[in-house]
Structure 1
Amino acid sequence: MTDEGSDTTESRCGCKLGRVSERYDLTDLHDTLISYWTGDADEQRSTRELATYVNQRVLETALTNADIPPREGAVKNTYRLLTSDDVTSGTRVQTRNELQRDGVPVEQVESDFVSHQTVYNHLTKCLDTAIGTPSDEEQLERSTEKLGALQNRTAVVTSDTVERLERKEILEIGAFNVNVSVTVTCEDCYQEYTIRELLDQRSCNC
């Protein structure tokens, strides 16, 4: 007798996350996402954190399928090298080449990575899941992550530019570091804060 319950959400869902979960046989993924997002698990996670979770599981499965047993911490580190804004383009290319040589279909894997918006749409539309309005702390955390990513990206682009000009002998410089700092000045009290200080403090000294 056929069990109608075996018609999983993966096979009914036509969105990208549904197709990816089916392609990589992530049969428990949907229940896990709901549990993490709604806070039924030990720790509630944002959709951005859930996108990272999904993508790392995709990468882990791809490594396993290529007969590369993932060592402890290797999946997270490889994912960081492939996606993080603070990784130089040269390091990212080297990581892709090494995976390709080991039989990992890197282009397919990267195209299967999902965004936090895809996760949100899947949770709310495909899985009919909802949570309350994000708390102040959650909104601050997301803002801090977003601004931090922008600063890291600016630093990487600057570093790549300097290295390229140095290779072409247009610029001369020794070993260098790039630091990006964003400050906010209150026009009432003229107090200046880094953006992280302001978000942590949540007010100026007026």
Structure 2
Amino acid sequence: MTERTHSSESETACGCKLGRVATEYELPNLDDELVTYWTGDGDEQLSTRQLATYVNQRVLEAALEDANILLKDGEIENTYRLLTDDDVSSGTQVQTRNELERDGVPIDQVESNFVSHQTVYNHLTDCLAATLETPSDDERVERSADKLGALQNRTEAVTTDTVAQLERNDILDIGEFNVTVSVTVTCEDCLQEYPIRTLLDERSCDCQDSSADETR
């Protein structure tokens, strides 16, 4: 297994996290790829969220290669999904991490080097001076999702603090608790309810799909 060491800032293309990660995992062409994918046309254009996934999968791939793990087609994508997807159970995630540790992959260090889409955006705009004429549809959706997610997290935090304070003052009687805030959108035409994240991902409701079918 190859042991990676953190490179000094002078050896990196820039001082931000993504620049340091690209140097540490020896990804010399990553900057060019990110700019090309972000500013591409049509189907070739990727959002910063998609680019964050791309970067993180490249990091994971480099770490597995360092551990001399033979990679099969699709293995990196599936392993990354098992580590990060919200739909994957915590038991499966723990098992995946333990298996990687046994194979010599320093998974704690690898995961700490994963980047967010905001980090990718900052790297593109601040370090690489890349620009878009207008935000893509994907970027608009992501910004909207981030704004709604921040509001949702804030509501959860305020609610948790309020309940805890009332419980401490013996005004409210409750055991261990968790607060979950969910937002749904109901289409009055098709009468279907959608979690806001699902609606943003799908970009339409069922009645829009039905209307499209009727015109064919």
TM-score by length of structure 1 reads: 0.68
Counterparts in 2 of 1:44 and 1:199: CA distance versus 1, 3 Å = closer
1:184 aligned residue: 186
| Alignment partners' CA distance in 2, 1:35 and 1:192 | 42
Q: Deviations over 1:65-124 (max 9, x none)?
A: 000021100000000000000000000000000000000000000000000000000000
| Alignment partners' CA distance in 1, 2:206 and 2:141 | 9
| Alignment partners' CA distance in 2, 1:44 and 1:10 | 30
1:59 aligned residue: 60
Summarize the alignment of residues 145-164 of structure 1 with structure 2, pairs less than 5 Å apart.
none
2:169 aligned residue: none
| Alignment partners' CA distance in 1, 2:138 and 2:42 | 19
Deviation, 1:14, is: 0.3
> SS in structure 2 opposite 1:110?
helix
1:200 aligned residue: 204
| Alignment partners' CA distance in 1, 2:73 and 2:53 | 17
How many equivalent residue pairs?
163
Counting aligned pairs with the same residue, the percent is 58
| Alignment partners' CA distance in 1, 2:16 and 2:207 | 42
Cα-Cα RMSD: 3.5
1:77 aligned residue: 78
1:91 aligned residue: 92
2:3 aligned residue: none
2:40 aligned residue: 39
CA contact (8 A) 2:55 2:115 kept: yes
| Alignment partners' CA distance in 2, 1:108 and 1:141 | 27
| Alignment partners' CA distance in 1, 2:58 and 2:137 | 30
Q: Deviations over 1:23-57 (max 9, x none)?
A: 00000000000000000697000000000000000
Structure 2 unaligned regions, length at least 5: 1-9, 153-181, 212-216
TM-score by length of structure 2 reads: 0.65
Amino acid at match of 1:184: T
CA contact (8 A) 2:18 2:115 kept: yes
Deviation, 1:182, is: 3.7
